[in-house]
Amino acid sequence: MTIDTFANPWPPREDVAITSVRAVATAPDGTALVVVRVDTNVPGLYGLGCATFTQRWKAVVSFVNDHLARLLVGRYPGDIGDLTRLAAFTGYWRGGPVTNNAISGIDQALWDIAGKRAGMPVHELLGGKVRAAADTYLHAAGRTVDEVIEDAQRLIERGQRHVRLQMSTPGGGGYGAPAVPTEYPDAPYRNGWSARDYLRRTPALFEAARDKLPDHIELLHDVHSRLTPKEAVWLARALEPYRLFFLEDVLAPEHWDRLPEVRAASPVPIAVGELTTSLQDAVRLVRDGGVDFIRSHVSDIGGLTNARKVADLAELCGVRTAWHGPGDTSPIGAAANVALDVTSAAFGIQEGHVYSERVHEVFPGTLRIEDGWLYPNEAPGWGIDLDEAAAAKYPAELSGHDAWAAGVRRPDGALEAP
C-alpha cells in the first residue's frame, strides 16, 4: 500500500476558500432553530453549524448575514481558531448570547468542513472516542405526583436509566410541567408561584418516585434558577434521602458567586451553566468550585472550540459535563454535544431530546436515542445535512415562545425568573 492511497480528496489549502456564509432559520417543531451554512469554492464542500438562540433568533440571523459573512468570504476555512477570534473581536464590544451563537454557527460549520476534508467524523478530529456512546436523560412531567411517575415509567420502558422529574405548581413555576389552576385566589396576582409551596411539594414527589420506580434509576430535577441560596440548601438537604443524580440550576446567574457555599452545604450534586453566555462564565463556574456538573448550552458560549476548552478544564478540576440539549438545540448542536461527550473523560450525562419526524426530514442524519444512548454519526463531519426545501415548509416566526418568560410571577405580583 502506497501513501497515495491516503491522498486527501479535497484541494490543498491555497485552493480552498469560503465563498458564502448565511444563516437559515426553520421551526419544524414550532421552536425556531438557526443553522449557519458556510460554502466553499470546492463543489460539494460546505459545513453546517448550530447558532440557535430561540428567543432572539432574528438577531442571530442578522448578525451572521449582515455582519460576519463579509468578514469571512475569501478566507481559508481551515483556520478555525483565527476566524472565530476575528468574528469575536471585530465588534469591539463583544460577548453575549447573540454574538456567541452567531460565532458558534460559524465555528461548528468550519469543524464540519474540516471533518469532510479529512474524511473523518468530528469526534476523530478531537482525538477519538474514550467511550462508545453518551448516556442520556429525558424529562418526565405531570400535574400530579402520579402523572409524573407514570411518565417516568414510560421513559424507563424505552430504555432510559436517567430521568428528570418535574411537577406542576400553580403559577407556571413547576418548570417543564403543565399549567395548573391557581391556589391563591385572594392574592394581588391570583395565578402566582410560591417558592415555599414549591419547596414543600418537591420532596414529596421524590419520596414517591423512590418508592415506585426501580431503585437503579437515576433521578434529576431542575429548579430553573428561582431560589435564594438558603432555599437552595434547604431543598438539597430535603432531597438527600432520594439520592438525586443532580439538582439543576438552583440559583439565578446574578447569584452564581454564592454557588460554592451552596455546593459545600449540599449533599446532592449541583448542576449549573445553561445560562452561561461566554467561555469565561463557564470557566468561572468550573474553576471556582460552584458546580459538580457544568451544563452550558454549547452555542451560547461560542461553539465547539470553546466547549472543548471547558471540558478539558472540567477534567482537570474533577467536574463533569452535562451539556444543555433540549428541543431548542438544533440537530447540529446535538451532534456537537455528542462529539464532546464521547471524546472527553469529564463526561457525566447528556440531556436528550426526541426529535419529531419533521425535524428528521429537515435535518437528514439527525441522531436518535437508542435504549437511552446517543451514538455519534461515523460519516465525515457531523454526518447531518440540511434540506432547505423542507426547512422552508416550516418557517420560523416570532411566536409566543419568544415571550414565554414573562408569565411567572409571585402571588404578590413580583416578576420571577423564567
3-class state of residue 219 by DSSP: strand
Exposed, middle or buried: residue 171 (CB in 10 Å: 0-12, 13-18, 19+)?
Answer: buried
Of 50, 59, 61, the closest CA to residue 300 belongs to: 50
C-alpha to C-alpha distance for 266 and 388, rounded to whole angstroms: 48
C-alpha to C-alpha distance for 57 and 47, rounded to whole angstroms: 20
Contact indicator for 171, 394 with CB cutoff of 8 Å: no
State how far the alpha carbon of 76 is from the alpha carbons of 71, 94, 135, 258, 361, in Å. Answer: 12, 23, 36, 44, 31
Could you give the angle at which helices 195-212 and 145-157 cross, rounded to 10 degrees?
Answer: 50
C-alpha to C-alpha distance for 233 and 267, rounded to whole angstroms: 9
Q: Residue 404 corresponds to which cell in the numbers above?
A: 414565554
What is the distance between the terminal CA atoms of the chain, rounded to a whole angstrom?
Answer: 60
Contact indicator for 102, 49 with CB cutoff of 8 Å: no
C-alpha to C-alpha distance for 329 and 416, rounded to whole angstroms: 24
Residues with a catalytic annotation lie at 175, 224
